[in-house]
Structure 1
């Protein structure tokens, strides 16, 4: 299914950017998956934070300007032990992914090369994905939710049985705080809107954190406000109060 950004959301985001505010797309997508979204939103300046904050992308050039990586070997081995049959994908920035088996069509962006788990684990990566096919997100959470994965930070998708792993200490919130400090923006002038488990730290970080209605309880619990769902153009609704 092709997903597009609705005209009200696109127009509102454009209005925010035109006002002089720093609009930062912070996403779990890879760099290759983020660039088309930036282009659809006509965001051609500043930066985007990809791979849950592990990759900083220049919005104008579409090129990475900072990348944080970790050793995927120990994490891969631990997840394989507890998620039998899981598929793994390690991001190759600007290229695609190394995968242990083909992923469902449309779920990864860029080239994919099938390798053994041992070969996948040889190269540092900013983002590792474990896809536990034939299982539910709830089953995945039950297994991985309390699992110790040293040296990394993990989030669990609430739509798909996906576990996303990035370097320890890296979250959307930590990446945004680093950027806020560099830009000299007062803490009280920060706003964040998210709808996933990987948005918890970001929504908590912002002076005003907003969770979308379709998001999981984890992000609702830390939000200052719940916005209408994506299907109701909730993003446009909340941004229009300020812009």
Structure 2
């Protein structure tokens, strides 16, 4: 099979915990693009937080951001697809999280809206050295009612994230998608949003068949795209459920799993 589109998760797949990308992975991505393969990023990060890595890797293709809620050109920032969250359900989810003393971020027009500054903000921003704009809101619930967010993220202790997501799914799961993107982060997006749906839409726009698409990831938010792709690959450091649905399991990020995938399946 001649693969034509490669979708890469960022954190834990391409980007290590120190926000670095190994030279071998960079060279492999460059080689794939030279060979005519379209390489895209599929990330939970917002567009402004994905673009530094797109520039680093010289990726010109449209980027899948916000867990698939946005597809946006790397070249000119044109938005090709966008899905925002319903105000009432989002406000309900935020009210529950704030009542449980959980730090919440609502993403509206590439600005981080928060109820108050807390140490968790610094934890979150440590993953975003690009310098995201932060706005403190007197009434975050009213803000999301008036201005539809693209995504909501919360920061909690690792043992809290899954139970919080389960409770949110019970409360608003008929109106919002809940997912875990990191040991410390839970996220909510509009119903029907995930990386798999976005990757299918991007492939449709680029006129690339499913069988010619490769997707690589490591976390729960990568499940749908790894399942959807013609070739779905899980990193060696991936969670067990992702490994269970992948066609192949790669070496870990510390072992340059993405480079191995490109060398083995694409070049």
Aligned residues: 237
The match for 1:110 among 119, 132, 138 is 132
CA–CA separation in structure 2 for the residues paired with 1:21 and 1:40: 17
Of stretches 57-66 and 215-224 in structure 1, the one that deviates more from structure 2 is: 57-66
CA apart distance, 1:73: 4.0
Encode CA deviations 1:177-200: one digit per residue, 9 max, x unaligned: 111122221221111100111100
Aligned position for 1:21 = 37
- Is it true that 1:151 corresponds to 2:171 in the alignment? no
Aligned position for 1:206 = 229
The match for 1:35 among 47, 51, 54 is 51
Which SS does the other structure have where 1:60 is aligned? Answer: coil
Of stretches 177-186 and 139-148 in structure 1, the one that deviates more from structure 2 is: 139-148
CA apart distance, 1:18: 1.4
Contact kept? 1:47, 1:59, Cα under 8 Å: yes
Contact kept? 2:67, 2:221, Cα under 8 Å: yes
CA apart distance, 1:74: 2.3
Contact kept? 2:210, 2:228, Cα under 8 Å: no
TM-score relative to the length of structure 2: 0.82
- Is it true that 1:124 corresponds to 2:148 in the alignment? yes
Contact kept? 1:99, 1:120, Cα under 8 Å: no
- Is it true that 1:92 corresponds to 2:108 in the alignment? yes
CA–CA separation in structure 1 for the residues paired with 2:239 and 2:94: 23
Aligned position for 1:163 = 186
CA apart distance, 1:158: 4.0
| Bigger relative CO (Cα 8 Å, ≥ 6 apart) | 2
CA apart distance, 1:28: 0.5
Contact kept? 2:42, 2:67, Cα under 8 Å: yes
Encode CA deviations 1:170-221: one digit per residue, 9 max, x unaligned: 1110011111122221221111100111100000001111111111122112
- What runs of 5+ residues in structure 2 fail to find an aligned partner? 1-16
CA gap of 1:79–1:215, structure 2 versus 1, over 3 A, is: farther
- Is it true that 1:139 corresponds to 2:155 in the alignment? no
- Is it true that 1:189 corresponds to 2:226 in the alignment? no
- What runs of 5+ residues in structure 1 fail to find an aligned partner? none
CA apart distance, 1:145: 2.8
CA apart distance, 1:26: 0.5
CA RMSD of aligned residues (A): 2.0
CA–CA separation in structure 2 for the residues paired with 1:63 and 1:181: 17
Contact kept? 1:89, 1:97, Cα under 8 Å: yes
CA gap of 1:90–1:81, structure 2 versus 1, over 3 A, is: closer
TM-score relative to the length of structure 1: 0.89
Aligned position for 1:180 = 203
Contact kept? 1:57, 1:65, Cα under 8 Å: yes
CA–CA separation in structure 2 for the residues paired with 1:175 and 1:224: 20
CA gap of 1:110–1:158, structure 2 versus 1, over 3 A, is: closer
CA gap of 1:143–1:99, structure 2 versus 1, over 3 A, is: closer
CA–CA separation in structure 1 for the residues paired with 2:91 and 2:44: 19
